[in-house]
């Protein structure tokens, strides 16, 4: 990656800038807030005001000048970390950059970054200038997490022209944010006087200043324009003008009063270089065919034009955005389309030769050089994919396609893969149709150069059908045809493809079809395909075994699951892919837990922790340990494991991983906080429904049932249980139901209700499916008879409890103290695997039946 130092350098304030004393006092009096938002349209002095503020601070300051190319999460956070590493006397950049190399999830990266900041002795101020240019939801989400858990020694400042896609409402309530808007930034009349006291025109004319102040309403760029125009222009042409940054008058004035007043050679320089985001003299020389760009830039700066120096000691500048926009309009007016296109081509080529690939592509797109963009992307496709900048790649593809450019077929197939990996199945399906239509016209699949890509397309076609749950039979047919035909090699065969960056279970990923379990008749041909000579040594084969293992587990075929996960583990370790072997170790622990073999399960997790040092995987393993502690009735240890797994020294911190959130909800349930547990569970469920994560929907709905039972809402629990069965039945889920004693008890009541109440609203769940679950549950209870472990006195306590007796009444009946009764109840709950009176009563009555 080519680093642009100017992006992380604090810009230099103009010498004539008016000291914003009242704004400095506002910031000072508001106290130290973790976030300061400066929001106003262009030309209100947002950046200048912040430069003045931070210049007063005797503490380290970080500055990031954002541009459109930063709409990639990887690039954005790399720059943030690089900026901070410049002021912190530690090698944090080296440590954190390895997380990018390992393609760690952003959550892990950000949490690690915050821990590094927290360890720094002293405060850090971080400015993100022009944040309105960020459109990526992933970046917004990650910045929100960064603010939520920001260390107390860090302060963030955001400037923006527009409203922010961030949870400002929540932060306002917590008094975390200071907000400065256009009304704050407008010049007062006193500031107008002080500004013009440093200018040649207008001067000593209070009436003119008052008119100007009223006309511009304190808009700073309007005042600058007036200063350049002089008194006559203000009295005449400006009389009826409306001042705001979007009015055509602003552009017109910038061109007529400023540009035309300059010598033709300087006009040409401004127009030709207006397409650049940063003005460095070598590229300016190339675009203007001259050798004095450095001197020209200095001269323009001296004249007070809308040019901003980005570095105190280096000759790097940029034009004010309004000025640049006006210049680019005039460029297209004065020069032919061919000449403008050539300028963009020269500038983009210069950036690419310099090594700044991303900026080159972005500039070429602005210049509508789509053929060049397609050629450059195609030639560097492998590097783009292996760098993990899929968001940027997808945005480039969307731009090309939105402009009806016919993208190279190979590039489109890779675009298809990135869409499928991010589970954008509708877009992926449409792209497959488009590639088929291209073949009808061009016959590209028959070309020797594209046969490898045609083979990949067929594999992706089968995958999209499977993952989308649209036509499993057709998917299997395609796989069978590929097995008969054999795969064709391509330049992508040896490129390591990552299918899982974070998830503790493969079924939550795209390759696992987000929990849409395949049936055995579909899995066997799939495994056979991946055992073919052309594919059996590929990483995908290991994931196929892993998905099969998880599917077997959820269908309660535990022994089969163990065989399949061992095969997946071998592939995972062979390819050194923790995204495969860590979920398999977690699955192995789950199998042992289902068999009540806790010692073996803990041993698996301890061994797995020694196989990786990547935090996200260690956190998943700790979350699994927390879940097991809860099953054993040890909420204190479970809570400690969950706290450690957040990676932050903050008891209120939460992971964003669904697995963590559901275990956290179980902990709340174990602590008697069923209402809070239900709120957290519903949050996960709503997100899963939005993403159609079937596995998580079923698991969260089952946990919702447990919460309703704990709250005494048995009727609501039965309705919710029907919803869980409705989601799980099409795919044959069983283990999620069987692992909850309370659910097994409720299933029997549900079956009785179904047989009594002949209502069509229940028909969406087959009675046969329910009966099968009950039969499997009874088998488990025979193999693990919890009631046999109760002592006679514990049985007596449970019987009285089931008959509705209170603790006081139980104590009186058995001649015990209430404290002793509580001890007995705690033991009963632990042995039955429940955590409330309601659940214990359900188990008791089930045994009676």
Per residue in 230-252, pLDDT tens?
544 554 554 444 554 445 666 77
Cα 787–chain centre separation = 47
* Segment 94-118, tens digit of pLDDT: 777 777 655 567 788 888 888 888 8
Residue 286 has pLDDT above 70, yes or no: yes
What residues are paired with 837 via a beta bridge? none
Q: What is the predicted pLDDT for the residue at 496?
A: 56
Q: What is the predicted pLDDT for the residue at 297?
A: 85
Tell me how many degrees the CA angle 191-194-200 measures, rounded to the nearest 5: 130
Q: What is the predicted pLDDT for the residue at 784?
A: 47
Residue 651 has pLDDT above 80, yes or no: no
- Residue 270 tokens read as 């401004």
Q: Is the dihedral of CA 693, 696, 699, 700 positive or negative?
A: negative
Report the alpha-carbon distance of residue 250 to residue 43 in Å, rounded: 11
Model pTM?
0.71
Interaxial angle between packed helices 578-594 and 615-631, expressed in degrees from 0 to 180 and rounded to the nearest 10: 10
Which candidate, 835, 848, 833, 745, places its Cα nearest to that of 803? Answer: 848
Residue 85 has pLDDT above 70, yes or no: yes
Q: Do the strands 35-39 and 154-160 form a parallel or antiparallel pair, or are they unpaired?
A: parallel
What count of other Cβ atoms lies within 10 Å of the Cβ of residue 59? 12
Report the alpha-carbon distance of residue 216 to residue 223 in Å, rounded: 7
Q: What is the predicted pLDDT for the residue at 558?
A: 94
Poorest-confidence range of 209-213, 401-405, 484-488?
Answer: 484-488
Q: What is the predicted pLDDT for the residue at 664?
A: 95
* Segment 43-81, tens digit of pLDDT: 788 998 999 999 888 899 999 999 888 888 888 999 999
Q: What is the predicted pLDDT for the residue at 538?
A: 63
Long-range contacts of residues 765-772, Cβ cutoff 8 Å, at least 24 apart: 765/722, 765/725, 765/726, 765/729, 766/729, 769/725, 769/729, 770/725, 772/734
Q: What is the predicted pLDDT for the residue at 487?
A: 60
Work out the percent of the chain whose per-residue pLDDT is above 70: 83
Report the alpha-carbon distance of residue 104 to residue 617 in Å, rounded: 10
Highest-scoring range by mean pLDDT, 452-461, 496-505, 678-687: 678-687
Q: What is the predicted pLDDT for the residue at 126?
A: 95
* Tokens 């020269």 -> residue: 346
Contact 558, 595 (CB under 8 A): yes
Interaxial angle between packed helices 337-354 and 321-334, expressed in degrees from 0 to 180 and rounded to the nearest 10: 130
User: Mean of the pLDDT values across residues 709-729?
Assistant: 92
Q: Which residue has the higher pLDDT, 652 or 38?
A: 38
Contact 287, 359 (CB under 8 A): no
Q: What is the predicted pLDDT for the residue at 161?
A: 84
DSSP conformation letters of 796-829? HHHHHHHTT--HHHHHHHHT--HHHHHHHHHHHH
Edge-to-edge strand ranges of the sheet holding 154-160:
61-65, 124-129, 154-160, 35-39, 177-180
Exposure class string for 768-779: b at 16+ Cβ within 10 A, else e: ebbeebbebbee
Q: What is the predicted pLDDT for the residue at 494?
A: 56
* Summary mean pLDDT of the chain: 83
Cβ-based neighbours of 117, under 8 Å, separated by 6 or more: 84, 88, 124, 151, 153, 154
Predicted confidence band of residue 309 (pLDDT cuts 50, 70, 90): confident
Q: What is the predicted pLDDT for the residue at 89?
A: 63
Q: Which residue has the higher pLDDT, 591 or 263?
A: 591
What residues are paired with 125 via a beta bridge? 61, 155
User: Mean of the pLDDT values across residues 838-847?
Assistant: 64
What residues are paired with 515 via a beta bridge? none
- Residue 750 tokens read as 């549900």
Torsion of CA 251, 257, 262, 268, to 10 degrees: 20
Q: What is the predicted pLDDT for the residue at 253?
A: 67
Q: What is the predicted pLDDT for the residue at 633?
A: 78
3-state helix, strand, coil in the chain (%, to 5): 65, 5, 30
Report the alpha-carbon distance of residue 467 to residue 362 in Å, rounded: 33
Whether omega for the bond prior to residue 723 falls within 30 degrees of 0, making it cis, is no
User: Mean of the pLDDT values across residues 652-656?
Assistant: 81
Predicted confidence band of residue 797 (pLDDT cuts 50, 70, 90): confident
User: Mean of the pLDDT values across residues 723-732?
Assistant: 93
Report the alpha-carbon distance of residue 80 to residue 70 in Å, rounded: 11
Number of H helices, E strands in the chain: 44, 8
Residue 25 has pLDDT above 70, yes or no: yes
φ, ψ for residue 388, nearest 5 deg? 80, 15
Which candidate, 152, 141, 164, places its Cα nearest to that of 40? Answer: 164
Q: Is the dihedral of CA 543, 546, 551, 554 positive or negative?
A: negative
Predicted confidence band of residue 435 (pLDDT cuts 50, 70, 90): very high
User: Mean of the pLDDT values across residues 782-789?
Assistant: 57
User: Mean of the pLDDT values across residues 168-192?
Assistant: 89
Alpha helices in 595-740 (DSSP H): 598-609, 615-631, 635-645, 658-670, 674-691, 694-710, 714-728, 735-738
Residue 802 has pLDDT above 80, yes or no: no
Q: What is the predicted pLDDT for the residue at 484?
A: 65
User: Mean of the pLDDT values across residues 552-564?
Assistant: 94
Residue 485 has pLDDT above 50, yes or no: yes
Residue 734 has pLDDT above 70, yes or no: yes
Report the alpha-carbon distance of residue 733 to residue 744 in Å, rounded: 14
- Residue 426 tokens read as 């509708």
Q: Is the dihedral of CA 541, 544, 549, 552 positive or negative?
A: negative
Q: What is the predicted pLDDT for the residue at 108?
A: 81
Q: What is the predicted pLDDT for the residue at 232?
A: 47
Q: Which residue has the higher pLDDT, 122 or 760?
A: 122
* Segment 343-390, tens digit of pLDDT: 999 999 999 998 888 889 999 999 999 999 999 988 887 777 666 677
Poorest-confidence range of 355-369, 608-622, 819-833?
Answer: 819-833
Q: Do the strands 316-319 and 279-280 form a parallel or antiparallel pair, or are they unpaired?
A: antiparallel
């Amino acid at each position: 990656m080519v680093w642009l130092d100017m992006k992380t350098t604090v810009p230099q304030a103009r010498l004539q800038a008016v000291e914003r004393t009242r704004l400095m006092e506002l910031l000072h009096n508001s106290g130290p807030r973790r976030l300061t938002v400066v929001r106003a349209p262009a030309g209100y002095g947002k950046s200048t005001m912040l430069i003045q503020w931070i210049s007063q601070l005797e503490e380290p300051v970080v500055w990031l000048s954002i541009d459109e190319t930063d709409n990639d999460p990887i690039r954005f956070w790399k720059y943030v970390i690089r900026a901070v590493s410049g002021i912190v006397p530690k090698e944090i950049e080296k440590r954190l950059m390895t997380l990018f190399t390992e393609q760690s999830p952003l959550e892990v990266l950000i949490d690690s970054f915050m821990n590094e900041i927290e360890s720094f002795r002293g405060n850090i101020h971080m400015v993100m200038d022009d944040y309105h240019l960020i459109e990526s939801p992933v970046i917004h989400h990650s910045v929100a997490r960064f603010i939520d858990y920001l260390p107390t020694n860090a302060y963030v400042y955001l400037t923006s022209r527009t409203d922010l896609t961030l949870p400002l409402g929540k932060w306002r309530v917590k008094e975390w944010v200071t907000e400065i808007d256009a009304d704050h930034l407008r010049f007062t009349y006193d500031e107008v006087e002080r500004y013009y006291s440093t200018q040649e025109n207008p001067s000593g004319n209070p009436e003119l200043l008052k008119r100007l102040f009223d006309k511009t309403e304190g808009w700073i760029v309007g005042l600058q324009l007036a200063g350049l125009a002089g008194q006559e222009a203000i009295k005449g042409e400006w009389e009826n003008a409306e001042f705001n940054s979007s009015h055509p008058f602003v552009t017109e004035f910038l061109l007529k009063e400023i540009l035309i007043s300059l010598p033709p050679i300087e006009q040409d320089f401004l127009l030709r270089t207006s397409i650049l985001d940063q003005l460095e003299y070598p590229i300016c020389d190339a675009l203007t065919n001259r050798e004095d760009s450095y001197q020209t830039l200095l001269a323009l700066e001296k004249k007070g034009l809308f040019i901003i120096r980005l570095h105190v000691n280096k000759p790097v500048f940029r034009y004010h955005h309004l000025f640049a926009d006006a210049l680019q309009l005039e460029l297209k007016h004065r020069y032919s389309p061919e000449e403008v296109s050539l300028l963009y081509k020269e500038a983009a080529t210069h950036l690419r030769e310099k090594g700044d690939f991303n900026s080159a592509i972005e500039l070429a797109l602005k210049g509508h050089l789509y053929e060049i963009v397609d050629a450059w992307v195609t030639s560097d496709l492998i590097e783009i994919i292996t760098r993990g900048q899929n968001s940027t790649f997808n945005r480039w593809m969307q731009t090309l396609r939105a402009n009806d450019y016919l993208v190279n077929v190979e590039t489109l197939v890779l675009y298809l893969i990135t869409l499928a990996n991010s589970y954008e199945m509708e877009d992926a399906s449409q792209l497959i149709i488009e590639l088929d239509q291209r073949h009808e016209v061009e016959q590209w699949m028959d070309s020797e150069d594209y046969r490898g890509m045609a083979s990949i397309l067929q594999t992706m076609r089968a995958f999209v059908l499977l993952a989308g749950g649209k036509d499993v039979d057709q998917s299997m047919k395609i796989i069978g045809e590929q097995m008969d035909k054999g795969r064709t090699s391509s330049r992508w065969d040896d490129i390591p493809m990552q299918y899982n960056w974070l998830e503790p279970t493969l079924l939550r990923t795209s390759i696992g079809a987000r929990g849409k379990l395949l049936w055995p008749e579909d899995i066997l041909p799939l495994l056979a395909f991946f055992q073919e000579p052309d594919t059996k040594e590929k990483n995908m084969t290991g994931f196929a075994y892993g998905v099969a293992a998880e599917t077997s587990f959820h269908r309660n075929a535990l022994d089969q699951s163990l065989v399949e996960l061992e095969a997946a583990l071998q592939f995972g370790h062979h390819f050194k892919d923790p995204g495969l072997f860590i979920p398999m170790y977690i699955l192995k622990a789950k199998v042992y837990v289902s068999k009540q073999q806790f010692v073996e399960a803990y041993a698996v997790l301890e061994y797995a922790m020694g196989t990786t040092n990547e935090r996200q995987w260690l956190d998943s393993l700790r979350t699994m340990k927390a879940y097991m502690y809860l099953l054993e009735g040890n909420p204190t240890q479970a809570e400690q494991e969950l706290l450690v797994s957040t990676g932050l020294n903050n008891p209120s911190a939460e992971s964003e991983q669904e697995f963590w959130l559901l275990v956290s909800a179980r902990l709340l349930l174990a602590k008697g906080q069923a209402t809070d547990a239900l709120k957290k569970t519903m949050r996960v469920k709503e997100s899963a429904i939005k993403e159609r994560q079937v596995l998580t929907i079923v698991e969260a709905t089952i946990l919702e049932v447990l919460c309703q039972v704990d709250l005494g809402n048995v009727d609501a629990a039965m309705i919710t249980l029907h919803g869980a069965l409705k989601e799980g039945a099409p795919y044959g889920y069983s283990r999620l139901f069987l692992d909850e004693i309370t659910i097994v008890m409720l299933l029997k009541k549900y079956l009785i209700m179904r047989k009594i109440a002949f209502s069509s609203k229940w028909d969406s769940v087959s009675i046969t499916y329910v009966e099968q679950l009950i039969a499997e549950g009874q088998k488990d209870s025979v193999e693990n008879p919890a009631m046999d472990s109760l002592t006679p006195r514990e049985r007596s306590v449970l019987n009285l409890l089931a008959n509705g007796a209170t603790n006081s009444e139980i104590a009186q009946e058995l001649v015990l103290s209430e404290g002793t009764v509580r001890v007995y109840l705690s033991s009963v709950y632990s042995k039955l695997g429940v955590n409330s009176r309601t659940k214990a009563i359900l188990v008791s009555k089930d045994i009676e039946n």
